[in-house]
Structure 1
Amino acid sequence: MTISLRHARVRYGPVEALHGVTLAAPGPGLTLLLGRNGSGRTTALRALAGTVALSGGAVVWDGVDVTRVPADRRAGRGLCLVPERQAVFGSLTVRENLELGASDPEAALDAYPQLRPLLPRRAGTLSGGEQRMLALSRALSTHARVVLVDDAAQGMSPSVAARTYDLLAALHACVVLAEQRPPPALRGRPAVVYELRRGQVVFAGEPGELERRSGPV
């Protein structure tokens, strides 16, 4: 199972955000898209999900060109995107958000038991870290084939962040994480790493190669 970008270009009006990016995320396993703000990592994730259109190149999933397949149909085929912002439905309760991803919210709560006392609350009233847990618990309960997550541990305490990365690494899925830098909790785990800078891939390899190239992270 592999999802990939092939010479992908994305434009936002007159600005080109991706300049012919090629990358492949195999699964089951972890792929990291690293880069500072403005590097193109989030755009690459959204291009894989179909929430932004390509102006050139292709998205290929399991050998099939899905460039023109809309985001909702990619989701129906087993792709789950957890964006950095607006990842939950703020007007719905925590329970209602969970039920959108799984008929049994109890199973979803296994990932983050901290959400149990929050079930009756509106998701929009939760803290940033709580909203992140809610969005990810939905994703973890859908048994998706491809899971795309932008800034997975945003707003979380170190212990909850470490648990989050453990849960994502344990998925039997193609997991693609867009991060500013390699998460310490994933150190030593096998992964494919791409570093983006100004809309281009400047490194592709394994975490150890990146560390030798850039110094300890």
Structure 2
Amino acid sequence: MSRGLELRSVRVRYGPLEALHGVSLIAPSAGLTVLLGRNGSGRTTALRALAGTVPVSGGAVTWDGADITRLPAHERARRGLCFVPDRQAVFGSLTVRENLELAHARGDFAAALAAYPELRPLLARRAGTLSGGEQRMLALSRALLADARVVLVDEPAQGMSPAVASRTYDLLKDLGAGVVVAEQRLPSGLRGRAGRAVVVYELRRGEVVFAGEAAEVPAAGHTGSAG
């Protein structure tokens, strides 16, 4: 497994509370990594530590073996990291078309509409007026257009229908980049998929309690609500 982004014994604090207690994980430079966990598990904080949007109080963050712990989020983005948070992931005051044009160097967003044709009749709408699922499609479309080396997404399929959620994971798996997502539960479509293995880390109370492949995750008894 080629190493891409890593957390090495990372600790993150929010004021007096420690949210991550020495978390270590490896997200390969190609393929899909899933961070699972309930509310308060630390899965979203781990994703933000990889993105550089929260400071690390202990341990290290590395990318291709180089220490990027103190590298700010905008510099990570400049180097090819795309982060899609669970909220405010689109420019609400801009139209869908303008959001997509900003995501591609030459303003060519045909690939986004091929991935999510549901957005075509919404091109003239302000992004802030879209439903939650439509905003997730737009946010993911912008990530697909970014040609990033690493894509981090918090709850990619939130608000989507099952069919669109399944399509979204197919798109993420076929990106050819290192993709890390944070989810409440392992999407059923990721179990037993042919091809490259899906790496899974389950977090609980700021610690990793399971690390392995998607096929090894118990069908029940893991995780629950969000985090």
Using the TM superposition, give the Cα deviation of residue 27 of structure 1 relative to its aligned residue in structure 2, in angstroms. Answer: 2.4
Matched with 1:195 is 202
* Residue pairs, 1:15-94, within 5 angstroms: 15-94=17-96
Matched with 2:162 is 158
In structure 1, the residue corresponding to 2:186 is in which secondary structure? coil
Distance 1:34 1:138 in 2: 24
Using the TM superposition, give the Cα deviation of residue 143 of structure 1 relative to its aligned residue in structure 2, in angstroms. Answer: 1.2
Using the TM superposition, give the Cα deviation of residue 111 of structure 1 relative to its aligned residue in structure 2, in angstroms. Answer: 1.1
Distance 1:43 1:15 in 2: 13
Q: Say yes or no: does 1:8 pair with 2:1.
A: no
Q: 2:190 aligns with which of 175, 178, 186?
A: 186
Query: 2:92 is aligned with what amino acid?
Result: G
Query: 1:6 is aligned with what amino acid?
Result: R
In structure 1, the residue corresponding to 2:217 is in which secondary structure? helix
Q: Which runs of 4+ in 1 moved over 3 A?
A: 212-215
Higher mean Cα deviation, 181-190 or 162-171? 181-190
Matched with 1:144 is 148
Percent of aligned positions with the same letter in both sequences? 73
After TM superposition, the score normalised by the length of structure 1 is 0.96
* CA RMSD of superposed structures (Å): 1.5
Q: Deviations over 1:150-189 (max 9, x none)?
A: 1110000111111001100111011111001101121223
> Structure 1: which 5+ residue stretches go unaligned?
none
Matched with 2:124 is 120
Q: Deviations over 1:56-105 (max 9, x none)?
A: 11110001000111101101111011111111111111011111211212
Assess if the C-alpha contact under 8 Å between 2:190 and 2:214 holds in 1.
Answer: no
Q: Deviations over 1:14-62 (max 9, x none)?
A: 1110011000001211111000111000000000000001011111000
Using the TM superposition, give the Cα deviation of residue 213 of structure 1 relative to its aligned residue in structure 2, in angstroms. Answer: 8.8
Q: Deviations over 1:177-210 (max 9, x none)?
A: 1001101121223211100000000111112222
Query: 1:125 is aligned with what amino acid?
Result: T
C-alpha distance 163-67 of structure 1, shift in aligned 2 (>3 A):
same
In structure 2, the residue corresponding to 1:110 is in which secondary structure? helix
C-alpha distance 212-96 of structure 1, shift in aligned 2 (>3 A):
closer
Using the TM superposition, give the Cα deviation of residue 214 of structure 1 relative to its aligned residue in structure 2, in angstroms. Answer: 4.8
Query: 2:19 is aligned with what amino acid?
Result: A
Assess if the C-alpha contact under 8 Å between 2:60 and 2:69 holds in 1.
Answer: yes
> Structure 2: which 5+ residue stretches go unaligned?
none
Number of aligned positions between the proteins? 216
